Amino acid sequence: MAALYCARIPLSQYGAWRLPIESLTFGLIIGAVIGAAAFPINFCALGGVADILFAKDWRRMRAWLLAAGVAMLMTQGLAALGIIARAEATAAPVSWIGVLVGGVMLGYGMALSGGCINRALVRVGAGSLKSLVIVGVVGLAAAAAQALVGRVPSSASAPTLPGFGGDTVRCTLAAICGSALVAFALAESWFRTGKAAVAGSIVIGLAIPAAWAASTTLGDPTSVNFAAAAGDLFSAPHGTAQVFGVAILAGVPVGSFLAAAPTRNLAFETFTDRAEFLRNVVGAVLMGAGGALALGDTFGQGLSGLSILSATAPVAIVGMFAGCLWGIRAFEAGGVWSGLKLTLTQLARR
């Protein structure tokens, strides 16, 4: 995996017992901010894909792209100022096929379960027992997959694109890509007029560099990766980065609850029948195992990965969106392979 280098703060300055407490505190706050911002705007990558397919509505996708652009610009800006850890190099070999296949699995699982891992966490805070089951199964599947392929890093797998090592080149690349994402997201007036969606997306984007900055002060730089944190729930997290990641995961439903309660949007939700239960469980297994192979989810390889110009992030994201499209079309076609055929046919026509 990639190594992130920074000036580590000696444990003696904190006391060994204080680090877990600070990791929990920082993580819970950042997670709660993400949950509170995501709930009112239905922030979800799968939702963005579905809206485009069925309603030609790009607003939720633009929200995700805006968050990604903000995360990239702010993370690289803080890194240039020395506030967060500067990534120096990629390290251990990465299975690119594994990242791509894992992304497809995760995306297909999102379609089966009706949302990404973050969306499930947000729904837990609003009273969804169904989503709680999904998160639990995702964690079990991720932990099992990690036992086979190795632990998912708490952030993304590779901090820099191979060949782009200089600070000037890196900052320039981040400025161009990040600005392009923000400009594309804000290009549509329909999206811009939704001030809540714009503000919420920016807040979620800012949560990514905030996580990098907070974890840097703890001596173990990492950011938001729900696939890793879900697996750590079932593997007794002990490191600072692991505790921090689990705390972020736990904070999301807290934040969504705080956002939902004042508007009376709390609602108990469970499975309607056995078929729905099985479909969601299978989707959760695919998300957990896929997240382990892809080295992250829509936050871990998506927002966090893009924020540090991860070499594997584009590959994983392509896989995720391809998997989402496949899963959605499978519902329409009534089967896995017929859905794949429909997807490939439609892509070929374009």
What would the pLDDT profile of 270-284 be if each residue is shown by its tens digit?
Answer: 999 999 999 999 999
User: What domain range includes position 203?
Assistant: 17-349
CA-CA distance, 181 to 239, in Å (whole number)? 34
In a domain, residue 191? The reply is yes
Chain centroid, CA 240 distance in Å: 19
| For residue 349, pLDDT beyond 50 | yes
What average pLDDT does this structure show over 317-328? 95
Please report the beta strands in the chain, taking only residues with DSSP state E, as ranges in sequence order: 3-5, 86-89
In a domain, residue 7? The reply is no
Structure tokens belonging to residue 254: 């807290």
Least confident window among 136-140, 163-167, 194-198, 331-335: 163-167
The 10s digit of each residue's pLDDT in 82-113 is 888 654 433 445 788 999 999 999 999 999 99
> Residue 326 to residues 97, 277, 284, 329, 345: CA-CA distances in angstroms?
18, 20, 16, 5, 11
Residue type, 255: G
Q: Is residue 119 a contact partner of residue 298, using CB atoms and an 8 Å limit? A: no
In a domain, residue 6? The reply is no
In a domain, residue 9? The reply is no
Considering the chain, what percentage of its residues have pLDDT values greater than 70? 86
CA-CA distance, 135 to 141, in Å (whole number)? 10
- Which range, 133-142, 159-168, 306-315, has the best average confidence (pLDDT)? 133-142
In a domain, residue 48? The reply is yes
In a domain, residue 1? The reply is no
| For residue 18, pLDDT beyond 60 | no
The pTM for the full model equals 0.88
Residue, of 85 and 229, whose pLDDT is higher? 229
DSSP state of 4: E
In a domain, residue 227? The reply is yes
Considering the chain, what percentage of its residues have pLDDT values greater than 90? 64
In the chain, helix, strand, coil percent, each to 5? 70, 5, 25
Q: Which of 134, 318, 306 is nearest to 230 (CA)?
A: 134
Q: At what angle do helices 240-260 and 117-125 cross, to 10 degrees?
A: 50
The 10s digit of each residue's pLDDT in 168-220 is 788 889 999 999 999 999 999 999 999 999 999 999 999 999 999 999 888 88
Average pLDDT, the chain: 86
In a domain, residue 141? The reply is yes
- Note the pLDDT of residue 12: 38
DSSP state of 12: G
Residue, of 122 and 94, whose pLDDT is higher? 122
| For residue 16, pLDDT beyond 70 | no
Q: How many domains does the chain have?
A: 1
